Amino acid sequence: MENNNLVYSIFTPNSKTKGNELKINGDRQLSTSNGDLDSVRNIITDIEGEVKKKRVSDKSYFIAKEILMTEITYKKDLDVINIWFRDEVGKEEPEECSILLTLIAPLAQAHGILVRDLEQRLQNWDGRGGPKTSTEGVADVLLTHLPPLLPIYEEYLDGHILVLEKLDSALKSNNRFEQFYRDFETQKVCYLPFTSFVLKPLHRLLQYQNILQSKYLYNLSIYVTLLSLKIFSYLRIPTLINQ
């Protein structure tokens, strides 16, 4: 029978072999007589255990890959404001936009570095480390980058309401700004209402909350729990989003 590239062959007694033998990949032989079938069962159990571990590692890798893909998408969403909107605003930078552009810049810069480091860790999948190293590396990157990001997010959360209020006020009272704003929303890069991009950092924090609570980041479970609680309670995310 064949299982996970390990081939078992039972040989009947002949002139060259003594008794029944179990041959594994041509290297290991075990006698199947005198109770040695227990040894065979143990080998099979070990193999099945390795298969289960591989399935967990595979799933962990795909979760790590998903984290990278969503982080890349999030960075592009930040750039809608930090690069594209900033470029449209130009050097004048009207008051209605100044606070938003000031708040978004450090987030975009920090997440650019985070994306770079995540991409480097995921490359371990094709190297010597394999899925286990890759997954643990991704968890390590998140836990390295997220704590320093929390003060930046706290500042953004404290200021985003004022940003939305200023945008709303400008749209109602400034025809020139309203035209500029509407024109920007029609551009391909702005694939959502502009305020949706303003709220993206809040939504991303909730995504981090779910990521850090994933059972597949088991190797750093205690630190993950503490950091996850800090993100959730210290920054009061649910309350802010429900407002």
pLDDT value, residue 116? 92
pTM for this structure? 0.68
Domain hosting residue 25, numbered range: 2-34
Same domain, 16 and 67: no
Instruction: Please report whether residue 41 resides in a domain.
Output: no
pLDDT value, residue 8? 41
d(CA 237, CA 243): 10
**Helix, strand, coil percentages for the chain (3-state, nearest 5):** 75, 5, 15
Same domain, 70 and 143: yes
Q: Exposed, middle or buried: residue 152 (CB in 10 Å: 0-12, 13-18, 19+)? A: middle
Same domain, 79 and 130: yes
Same domain, 30 and 60: no
Same domain, 91 and 22: no
Instruction: Please report whether residue 236 resides in a domain.
Output: yes
pLDDT value, residue 122? 81
Same domain, 123 and 192: yes
Instruction: Please report whether residue 42 resides in a domain.
Output: no
d(CA 102, CA 85): 12
pLDDT value, residue 230? 60
10-residue stretch averages of pLDDT, the chain, 243 residues long: 44 45 48 56 56 53 82 97 93 79 96 91 63 58 82 91 93 91 95 96 84 58 56 51 50
Q: Kindly report the length of the chain.
A: 243
25: left (phi over 0), alpha (psi -120 to 50) or beta: left
Instruction: Please report whether residue 207 resides in a domain.
Output: yes
Instruction: Please report whether residue 50 resides in a domain.
Output: no
Q: How many domains does the chain have?
A: 2
d(CA 114, CA 108): 10
Bridge-partner residues for 8, per DSSP?
24
Residue pointed to by tokens 């309203």: 178
- Using only C-alpha atoms, what is the Rg of the chain? 28
Same domain, 112 and 12: no
Query: What are the pLDDT digits (tens) for 100-122?
Result: 999 999 999 999 999 998 888 88
Same domain, 114 and 11: no
Instruction: Please report whether residue 46 resides in a domain.
Output: no
Same domain, 15 and 67: no
Instruction: Please report whether residue 170 resides in a domain.
Output: yes
Same domain, 12 and 64: no
Same domain, 122 and 74: yes
Instruction: Please report whether residue 235 resides in a domain.
Output: yes
